[in-house]
């Protein structure tokens, strides 16, 4: 099937860790998409029980031209499996298959598969290369790019992980056709995110094209993935290890992670939690006097049109705001117990700020179901 692909590339500029995101159609079966991987070495495809039956055979076929041996493992599907136990299944497969230090891992799936495969690659024999082959919109526009890998801990999301950049990211837009509408909407949350933090013209474009995106129109998806990756590449290129700027990509995530952990991982999709979390973060920004009510309304309306929840979950019926605060205090941006929020500091510009507990409580009370 190769030879019929069509793609554009976005470069992540990170010195000797630089790599390309290929975005286009027909890429899954295109040998050229995998040329960054060392030829001759072994490969392990990590996927899940949903994506594996759809695409693993095709990926294995194209990789068999490049690698001496192609192993496969299917993990259970869902955020609730982003754990040590699943990670150990990857290590068992690697050691059981005789995988050496030059083995290349391939993450074929969404954000959970990508995060776990990347973390396994970071740790196996203290580091082996890996390639991201994201099959969800969320993974194509956000999680597969930038080298953040992690698993969850019961007390906090993505608490255990590593920065480990892939050799390449292969975004085949064709695979999005099999994505359930709920997953597509979840991915749109991370697309929308880039507008208020960095590019209001992109937000205009998303508003004008939200229906086309939800209908999976190829040209609309191609632009959304490409522009999202460009913005992410720009941010990550300036601040790979989140010394500062990179934190803005977590807009909506501080509240969102509290929803995910508070409801139990997997109850809400990550993108759904980020959708409601962005509304809460926008509301907090308004409370801090940084944006006006019209801005919050505009963003809320778009999140709703994307098919996402715009109200946070009630995660504790006795003291909902207190439970949010408790969970947010272990956020990675927190320092000395002080939560630091990504806020919108005027349309198109994000900042990281502390906020008074009383105001945060008000926002939570106002924004939860």
- Contact letters (x/-) for its own copies, 156-195, by CB under 8 A? x--xxxxx--------------------------------
Nearer to its own copies, 200 or 330 (CB): 330
Q: Helices 111-123 and 84-96 sit at what angle, rounded to 10 degrees?
A: 60
- b/e burial code for range 133-151 (CB count within 10 A of at least 16 → b): bbbbbbbbbbbbbbbbbbb
Please check whether residue 352 is in contact with residue 341, taking contact to mean a CB–CB distance below 8 angstroms. yes
Token pair in block for residue 368: 């939860």
- Rounded to an integer, what distance in angstroms lies between the CA atom of residue 189 and that of residue 186? 5
Nearer to its own copies, 121 or 360 (CB): 121
- The residues, any chain, with a CB within 8 Å of residue 24's CB and separated by 6 or more, are 5, 6, 7, 8, 171, 172, 173, 222
Contact status: 366 vs its own copies (CB under 8 A): no
CB of 240 to its own copies, least distance (A): 11
Contact status: 124 vs its own copies (CB under 8 A): yes
Host H or E run for residue 24: strand 19-25
- Contact letters (x/-) for its own copies, 300-339, by CB under 8 A? -----------------------------xx-xxxxxx--
Q: List the 69-75 sheet strands across, edge first.
A: 6-12, 19-25, 168-172, 130-134, 104-109, 42-48, 69-75
Contact status: 64 vs its own copies (CB under 8 A): no
Nearer to its own copies, 159 or 351 (CB): 159
Contact status: 88 vs its own copies (CB under 8 A): yes
283 classed as catalytic: no
Among 161, 332, 194, 184, CA closest to 258: 332
**Which residues of the chain form contacts with its own copies (CB under 8 A)?**
41-42, 68, 84, 88, 91-92, 95-96, 98, 100-102, 122-127, 148, 150, 153, 155-156, 159-163, 241, 329-330, 332-337
Binding residues: 77-82, 111-115, 135-136, 148, 157, 190, 253, 270
Catalytic residue annotation? 126, 148, 190, 232, 242, 246, 250, 253, 257, 270
């Amino acid at each position: 099937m190769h030879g019929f692909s069509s793609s554009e590339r976005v470069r992540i500029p990170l010195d000797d860790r630089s790599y390309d995101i290929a975005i286009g159609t027909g890429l899954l079966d295109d040998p050229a998409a995998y040329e960054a991987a060392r030829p001759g070495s072994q490969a392990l495809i990590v996927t899940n029980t949903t994506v594996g039956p759809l695409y693993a055979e095709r990926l294995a076929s194209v990789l068999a031209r490049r690698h001496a041996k192609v192993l496969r493992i299917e993990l259970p599907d869902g955020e609730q499996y982003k754990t040590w136990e699943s990670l150990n299944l990857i290590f068992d497969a690697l050691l059981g298959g005789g995988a050496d230090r030059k083995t290349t891992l391939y993450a074929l799936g969404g954000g959970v598969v990508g995060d776990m495969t990347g973390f396994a690659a970071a740790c196996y024999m203290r580091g082996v290369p890996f390639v991201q082959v994201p099959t969800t919109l969320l993974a194509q526009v956000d999680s597969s790019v930038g080298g953040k890998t992690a698993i969850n801990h019961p007390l906090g999301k993505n608490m255990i992980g590593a920065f480990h950049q892939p050799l390449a990211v292969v975004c085949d837009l064709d695979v999005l056709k099999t994505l359930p509408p709920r997953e597509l909407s979840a991915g749109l949350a991370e697309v929308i995110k880039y507008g208020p933090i960095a590019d209001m013209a992109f937000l205009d474009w998303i508003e004008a094209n939200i229906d086309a995106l939800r209908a999976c129109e190829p040209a609309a998806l191609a632009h959304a993935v490409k522009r999202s990756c460009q913005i992410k590449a720009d941010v990550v290129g300036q601040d790979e290890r989140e010394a500062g700027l990179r934190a803005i990509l977590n807009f909506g995530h501080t509240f969102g992670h509290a929803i995910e952990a508070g409801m139990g991982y997997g109850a809400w999709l990550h993108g759904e939690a980020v959708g409601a979390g962005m509304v809460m973060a926008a509301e907090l920004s308004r409370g801090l006097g940084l944006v006006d009510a019209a801005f919050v309304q505009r963003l809320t309306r778009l999140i709703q049109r994307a098919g996402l929840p715009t109200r946070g979950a009630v995660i504790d019926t006795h003291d909902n705001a207190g439970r949010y605060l408790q969970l947010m205090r272990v956020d990675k941006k927190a320092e000395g117990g002080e939560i630091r929020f990504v806020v919108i500091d005027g349309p198109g510009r994000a900042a990281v700020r502390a906020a008074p507990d009383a105001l945060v409580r008000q926002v939570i009370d106002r924004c939860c179901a």
